[in-house]
């Protein structure tokens, strides 16, 4: 007499870090380096394309905001500020936009047993970080050529890049985990990232925003980082994010949103990781 058949149970897929931290880090480095090489392998100008896009945007916007709107004459070192902000924001926009479809693009390896899903969007961010590092060499050459005097706060650039990379990674985790189930995410994020570009102090310092809108603009977690970049790198005499906001308390909502995005990213990715393969 045979026993009763055991009921079927759901078997969850690999987690966000299936296989452990060490294996995940090794795969992360391998994917990021491979993707970086793939982007420029076989192209005529290679890495030049990476800096060419922000430089082209910089040229157009510089002409508009110095010849049409004349804001450039009101902001010290405006060309330097504009180029630096564009390169920083381009890192955020490039990494998050590429991360949206990154898991679906890597469907072949996602379906493999115990492949850590988190490695895929984080490798996209790491590849963009490689690009950012190379672009910053060109930016600082431009800053020196423009006549900006080096100051000790330039050494604090890594401190600035850490929170920028953290928020970029968090957003990349959110959009990449949602895209397999909600394919509208690619269009939605394309629109949102464009809105965020104009709602961030990339083209203008935050003090140029009308007082009635300034509090709204300061909800953007990128705003304090860009203002800090301006003070530390471009113009030490410029107001820092605290002064520009009118006090430290005015920055608390942006800090809270920053933290909330990071927590949401971890929770959402851990929830979605085991079921990603079945959504592909």
pLDDT for the residue numbered 189: 94
Confidence of residue 8 (pLDDT cuts 50, 70, 90): very low
| Residue whose entry in the numeric block shows the structure tokens 């452990």 | 20
Does position 154 have pLDDT exceeding 60, yes or no? yes
pLDDT for the residue numbered 278: 60
**pLDDT single digits (tens) 85-124:** 999 999 999 999 999 988 888 777 766 656 677 888 888 9
Confidence of residue 1 (pLDDT cuts 50, 70, 90): very low
Mean pLDDT for the stretch of residues 8-26: 54
Does position 41 have pLDDT exceeding 70, yes or no? no
Pick the more confident residue, 227 or 58.
Answer: 227
Contact 250/215 with Cβ under 8 angstroms? Answer: yes
Mean pLDDT for the stretch of residues 167-190: 92
% of the chain exceeding 70 in pLDDT: 73
The overall average pLDDT reported for the chain is 81
Does position 63 have pLDDT exceeding 80, yes or no? no
pLDDT for the residue numbered 11: 43
């Amino acid at each position: 007499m045979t026993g009763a058949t055991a009921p079927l149970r759901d078997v969850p897929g690999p987690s966000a870090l299936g296989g452990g931290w060490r294996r995940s880090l090794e795969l992360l480095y391998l994917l990021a380096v491979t993707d970086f090489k793939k982007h420029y392998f076989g192209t005529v100008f290679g890495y030049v394309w990476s800096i060419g896009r922000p430089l082209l945007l910089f040229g157009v916007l510089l002409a508009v905001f110095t010849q049409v709107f004349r804001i450039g004459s009101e902001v010290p070192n405006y060309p330097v500020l504009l180029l630096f902000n564009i390169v920083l924001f381009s890192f955020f926009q490039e990494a998050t936009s590429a991360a949206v479809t990154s898991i679906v693009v890597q469907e072949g390896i996602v379906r493999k047993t115990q492949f850590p899903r988190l490695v895929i969007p984080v490798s996209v961010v790491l590849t963009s970080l490689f690009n950012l590092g190379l672009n910053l060499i060109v930016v600082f050459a431009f800053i020196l050529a423009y006549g900006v005097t080096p100051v000790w706060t330039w050494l604090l650039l890594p401190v600035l890049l850490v929170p920028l990379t953290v928020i970029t990674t968090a957003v990349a985790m959110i959009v990449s985990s949602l895209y397999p189930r909600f394919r509208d995410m690619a269009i939605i994020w394309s629109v949102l990232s464009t809105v965020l570009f104009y709602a961030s102090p990339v083209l203008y310092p935050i003090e140029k925003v009308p007082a009635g809108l300034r509090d709204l603009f300061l909800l953007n977690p990128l705003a304090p980082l860009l203002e800090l970049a301006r003070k530390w790198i471009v113009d030490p005499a410029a107001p820092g994010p605290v002064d520009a906001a009118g006090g430290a308390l005015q920055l608390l909502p942006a800090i809270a949103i920053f933290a909330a995005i990071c927590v949401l990213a971890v929770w959402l990715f851990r929830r979605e990781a085991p079921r990603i393969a079945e959504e592909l």
